[in-house]
Chains A and B, each alone.
Chain A
Amino acid sequence: MNVEITDLTRRFGRNLAVAGVSLQTGPGVFGLLGPNGAGKTTLLRMMATVIPPSSGRLRLLGRDPGGYGPRREVRRRLGYLPQNLGYYPGFTVAEFVEYFALLKEMPTARVPAAVANAVERVDLGGRARAKLRTLSGGMLRRVGIAQAIVNEPELLLLDEPTAGLDPEQRVQFRALLRDLGQRATVVVSTHLVEDVGAACSQVALMDQGKIVFHGTPAELTARGTEHGTGDAPLERGYTAVLAAARS
């Protein structure tokens, strides 16, 4: 298992953002669904080793990221796209991706080809030397995806990766996700259920800091056959599970 989480919690003052989450997952695309404020981003930030948990146990790629050495090893093998990707406006696309490849301690000789490959995979080859300040929101999102995959991570964490992408790009991105999921564990946090249905083999639904459903997209769809509301089968499953959790 690349991700092993046991009873993980995270507090911000009095607010319990993540309340006793447990889950395990191996290679494949794992969808993390939930409404705004459900705790998805906080859970992902803990998995990205950006913030430590308040309590509970977290093992990533077979290591405990609580120690400096294991955390550094995990980070070398990690790809992370934050929900709010900040960028340096004076950098070009390639420079930005290269910068984070170096911060991930990739071997220097491998960096140029890895950067070119990542930039091409997000279809930004034609803008590789463009300054980031000249790019649209969707292009910046793809730059963020490129830096996340540049080191061919074993664990890829993507927070709202399709935000700002147009429909064609979202379809292409789902294909990329499926490809990446063949070798790595890809955790995608989103509130767009169609992304999960199209790309994920496993899905968890979070609400109020807790996981209220864990299964396959088909199992989630099945939950909505009687009580759910929504235009698509998966949406009906989503709303039915949420309603049951809140009742």
Chain B
Amino acid sequence: MSGPRNDAPDDVDLGRVWISVAGQVWRRQPGWLERTAGRLLRSPGLARALLTTPSLLLPWLLASVAVLAAGAAATLSSGQPLVALLAPAVAAAAIAYSYGPGIDPAWDLSCSMAISDRMVLLVRALAVFAVNTVLGLAASAVAAAVGLPAGSASGAAAVVTFGWLIPMTAVCAFALAVATMARSASVGAAAGVTAWLIIVLSGRVASGNFAAPVTDTVLFLPYLAVGAGCVVVALYATRIPRGTFS
């Protein structure tokens, strides 16, 4: 262990110069996506955590693809929206607690950071679902444009997108917003699950149909609006107070 090399004349602090140069040479240059995420999240650390550590990001993406495929298959084959009804609540709860010592190699260390590991978790979850929603919407738009018959791959994507991916995104965004405001990911996950249960039960009472929350197209726009609003709330709650670390 040593300090920086400093064999310079008295009037030149070579060690300081070296540290400055080395810092710039060694630093990881953030790409445009990370810079954008940093600005949106108002936290370079959260953006770095969102877009790096591929050992965490890849399982999430794979899990999303798997759930997406299973949901599409179940919906198309059985005609029952069971997966659609369960998916938002299951996803919100499972992802909230899928992050831990067996998943993240530096979990113990992450738990001692100012940007909490659970906040990183929820932001990642929201990002994955948001990406999937965008992909599903794109597939739906393509399907509508080319007029493919129902039951095709793009048609399945549309069913999945409008059936439960949008509600799932809204539930996850809601869980994130509650977590940031209540300052507890556990409270956020519980709120997300509870909110979805209330929506499903309300649909049953109002229309006599459990599946209404995932089949009634009138609800899709409110879902997206609630999701967007919750993102704004989360961004506000996670802002870095000025002047607290100078």
Residues of A within 8 A of B (CB): 45, 48-51, 68, 72-73, 75-76, 78, 80, 82, 84-88, 90-92, 94-95, 98-100, 102-108, 111-117, 119-123, 125, 128-129, 142, 147, 169, 172-173, 175-176
Contacts and interface: CB of A to CB of B under 8 A. Distances in A.
Contacts of A121: 1-3
A118 B217 CA distance: 56
B199 interface: no
Nearest to B52: A99
Nearest to A96: B106
A112 B111 CA distance: 23
10 contacts: A75-B112, A78-B112, A82-B109, A86-B107, A87-B105, A107-B245, A108-B44, A116-B23, A120-B22, A169-B1
Contacts of B2: 120-121, 123, 172
Interface string B1-13: 1111000000000
Contacts of B49: 99, 102-103
Nearest to B110: A103
Contacts of A114: 23
Contacts of B53: 88, 99
Secondary structure at the B interface, as helix, strand, loop or mixed, is: loop
Contact of B26 (A75, A116, A122): A116
Nearest to B101: A86
B246 A102 contact: no
A145 B52 CA distance: 22
Interface string B27-51: 1100000000000000111001100
A169 B1 CA distance: 7
A45 B112 CA distance: 9
Interface of B: 1-4, 18-20, 22-24, 26-28, 43-45, 48-49, 52-55, 104-116, 183-184, 240, 244-246
B129 to A, nearest CB: 23
Contacts of A106: 245
B245 A102 contact: no
Contacts of A169: 1
B50 to A, nearest CB: 11
Contact of B114 (A72, A98, A142): A72
Nearest to B117: A103
Nearest to B109: A82
Contacts of B114: 72, 75-76, 103-105
A153 B183 CA distance: 24
B125 to A, nearest CB: 18
A181 B27 CA distance: 28
Contacts of B106: 85-88
Contact of A103 (B1, B23, B113): B113
A117 B26 CA distance: 11
A125 B44 CA distance: 24
A88 B45 contact: no
A205 B43 CA distance: 41
A107 B246 CA distance: 7
Given A45-B108, A86-B109, A113-B23, A103 B183 contact: no
Contact of A113 (B20, B111, B115): B20
Nearest to B45: A102
A105 B115 contact: yes
A85 B184 CA distance: 25
B112 A102 contact: no
A102 B43 CA distance: 9
Given A105-B114, A112-B24, A116-B19, A175 B108 contact: no
A11 to B, nearest CB: 19
Contact of B112 (A48, A88, A99, A128): A48
A129 B245 CA distance: 28
B113 to A, nearest CB: 4
A94 B108 contact: no
A44 B135 CA distance: 45
A105 to B, nearest CB: 4
Contacts of A122: 1
Contacts of A173: 1
A73 B107 CA distance: 20
Contact of A117 (B4, B110, B183): B4
